[in-house]
Structure 1
Amino acid sequence: MYQNANGKWFLARTMDFAFELGGRPVVISRDFHFNSDAAQNGFDTKLGFTGAGRDLNGYILVDGVNEAGVGAATLYFDGLAKFATAADINKLNLAPHEVVNWILGNVTSVADLKGKINHLNIMAVANELFQMIVPLHWIVSDKTGACVVLEQDETGMHVFDDPVKVMTNSPDFNWHLQNLNNYVQLKPTSHSAKTYGEFHSDAYGLGTGALGLPGDYTSVSRFIRAAFMRENTTKAKTTAGSINAVSHILSSVEIPKGVKSDNEGGFGYTQYRGYMSLDEGAYYMQPYDDQTITRVVMTPELLSASQPTEYPLQAEQQFNRVN
């Protein structure tokens, strides 16, 4: 999350994956019915929302913002996510990959989410695209600046307030918070000179306050890097300047093709960066192969449309980045 100089909040993420997801901006209209892989009757939404998604016999969004100013994003929780193996007739049964759709379509604030989350039963149901149960956890925020992380493990669903306003992949959220204690020396200004015996040590230029900032592409290191960048980046005054600022913050954790490879020749990379302007109710998407930013705003016509509206990136609108 990022707050600009005027108090406006933004939620931004990188989508990092090896499999080509093919996501593009989508607007889901109000009062929409979704089919579900976990429940025969599916589920209904009330609020309109926009984000990055794909039509896979029904739209699945992985991040976005709704008309009430709630933003949400999925993140990988590999090795730790545990979901229900049986349906619960007293709750709404959802597959993990359907949670963002439900949140954005039905939740008006983080406080509202906290009151509704226990009515969900998230089940171990496979995603059609991946042919597997996708291990996910979620970050959810609203335009007041409230921010939570949702994690479901073998002990059940947990809702954590996120004071750092950053989240990455595994390990669990509390582990990431505790790990910040290893980096209390980080600061944007330089460290002072030191004496070692009779030797006087001076820093080589500015930036020594960030010595020890991890630079690798693990989720652990990217959490620290994002937290440091977010905390110290100058606050922009305009929406356009804010999108520019979060773009630069995320560039510090973006994964170029080839630098995070497996032993079989495959590699994960940042397929796009997504920026959610919570007060504005707008979604911005910046794909890897074309750094042009596409902006989608929920208009009354889009919110009342009979079907979702999709914006293929090859027909994108250019966002004029003006500070």
Structure 2
Amino acid sequence: MCTSLTYQTSGGDQFLARTMDFGFELGGRPVVIPRQHHFTSVTNATGFDAPYSFAGTGRDLNGYILVDGVNEYGVSAAALYFAGQAHYAAEPVEGQINLAPHEVVMWILGNVKSTAELSQRLADLTITESAAPLLNIVVPLHWIISDRQGETFVLEQEADGMHYMKNPVGVMTNSPDFDWHLKNLSNYVELQPMPHTASRQYGDLTVNAFGPGTGALGMPGDYTSPSRFIRTVFNREHTETVDTDAAAVNTLSHMLNSVEIPKGVKVKADGSDDYTQYRAYMSMNEPAFYMQPYNDQTITRVALTEAVMTADTPTEYALAGQQQFKAVN
């Protein structure tokens, strides 16, 4: 279970941020994939190439797997859980680019320069029922993709086919499907940052609001996907706009505070608990990747420099440091 949102600074710089909420320890670190990297695939022996460099959260499992990131052209993407609704092809299709669900982010970041280009290339993709290493299951996923021009889309594959939808609110969580979440916003039109000041008469009693904050009365506070979607849309709409990239990461961190899941408060039926293992912030204009782990709130920054983009092999970074931003250039 995860939450994602986009954000724009007053100067027009674009960001995509996400929480990674999961029970199984994923063990990801910041990784830069260089240009012309070749990925193996669990769907076929050929694999696929990534002409463009990108940075994101990854782990080397006999080949790197990344679940979010930003590429050298400012395209950013994140994979989020889509349980109960994701539906994939049973077998690879000859003549298509066949990808397992956990490989989609790597292909997008390694191959497209904009969300518009991705739209043109989706007809060539087939997402198959192929299990992910480590988890050993077919991971039900959907994806949020954004670019340097501020265009943001959601990609979902269900039983009726692939859907590539404009995201007008810049937020995505988990199941149900994205269109359902947009419709559900109609249940919360009363939310506002200003207090409700009108009094109400109940018999002979005049009732007045207690004060500031009453504008958000009725906003759901639980950790379900629909509730996290509503809170994040509200916060994204009304949180202040800042003018620097560092301030944007700080602002996004505060917004994600409202949906971060501490260990122990969201227990699943099998007794395990989901929690926010990390937060990621993808700066599309720099471009740079920021990661903030659960056990150490230090934010590690990795920039896409020419040196790492042209390296012979992927570059992996440890999460450590005491300062607010530990820059890796």
What TM-score, normalized to structure 2?
0.95
For residue 206 of structure 1, what is the aligned residue in structure 2? 212
Could you tell me how far apart the structure 1 residues matched to 2:147 and 2:164 are?
15
Alpha-carbon distance between aligned partners in 2 of 1:315 and 1:290, rounded to the nearest angstrom? 9
Is 1:41 paired with 2:67?
A: no
Where does 1:1-323 land on structure 2 (aligned, <5 Å)? 1-196=6-201, 197-314=203-320, 318-319=324-325
Alpha-carbon distance in 1 for matches of 2:326, 2:308 = 22
Find the residue that maps to 1:16 and give its secondary structure: strand
d(CA) in 1 for partners of 2:196, 2:268: 38
Residue 315 of structure 1, CA deviation? 6.5
Measure the CA separation in 2 of the matches of 1:200 and 1:240: 48
1: CA distance between counterparts of 2:39 and 2:16? 25
Q: What CA deviation, in whole Å up to 9, does each residue of 1:128-169 have, x standing for no partner?
A: 111110000000000111000000011111001000110001
Shift of 1:62: 0.3
Could you tell me the percent identity over the aligned residues?
A: 58
Indicate how the Cα distance of structure 1 residues 316 and 45 shifts in structure 2: closer, same or farther if over 3 A, else same. Answer: farther
Q: Judge conservation of contact 1:46–1:106 (CA < 8 Å) in 2.
A: yes
| Per-residue deviation, residues 17-55 of structure 1 (Å, max 9, x unmatched) | 000000010000001100000121000011100000100
SS of the residue 1:313 aligns to: coil
Count of aligned residue pairs for this structure pair? 321
Q: CA deviation at 1:177?
A: 0.4
Give, in whole Å, the separation in 1 of the partners of 2:160 and 2:265: 35
Q: In terms of mean alpha carbon deviation, does 189-198 or 293-302 score higher? A: 189-198
CA contact (8 A) 1:294 1:317 kept: no
Letter in 2 for 1:97: H
Shift of 1:107: 0.8
Q: Please give the secondary structure, in 1, of the residue aligned with 2:171.
A: coil
Deviation at 1:320, TM superposition (A): 6.9
Other structure's SS at 2:252 match? helix
1:295/1:316 Cα in 2 relative to 1: closer, same or farther (>3 Å)? farther
**Greater mean deviation of Cα atoms: 199-208 or 185-194:** 199-208
Question: Secondary structure of 1:82's match?
Answer: coil
The alpha carbon displacement at 1:198 in A equals 4.2
In structure 2, C-alpha distance between the alignment counterparts of 1:97 and 1:318, rounded to whole Å: 31
Alpha-carbon separation, structure 1, partners of 2:206 and 2:250: 41
Alpha-carbon shift at residue 262 of structure 1 (Å): 2.0
* Deviation at residue 314 of structure 1 after TM alignment: 3.6
Residue equivalent to 2:3: none
SS in 2 for 1:21: coil
Q: State the superposition RMSD in angstroms.
A: 1.4
Deviation at 1:90, TM superposition (A): 1.6
Contact 1:275 1:283 in 2 (8 A): yes
In structure 2, do the counterparts of structure 1 residues 312 and 164 end up closer, same or farther at CA, with 3 Å as the change threshold? same
User: 3-state DSSP class of the match of 2:197?
Assistant: coil
2:33 counterpart letter in structure 1: I
Cα separation, 2, equivalents of 1:316 and 1:129: 31
Bigger mean CA offset, 9-18 vs 311-320: 311-320
User: In structure 1, the residue corresponding to 2:234 is in which secondary structure?
Assistant: helix
Question: 2: distance between equivalents of 1:256 and 1:11?
Answer: 22
User: What is the alpha-carbon distance in structure 2 between the residues aligned to residue 235 and residue 264 of structure 1?
Assistant: 42
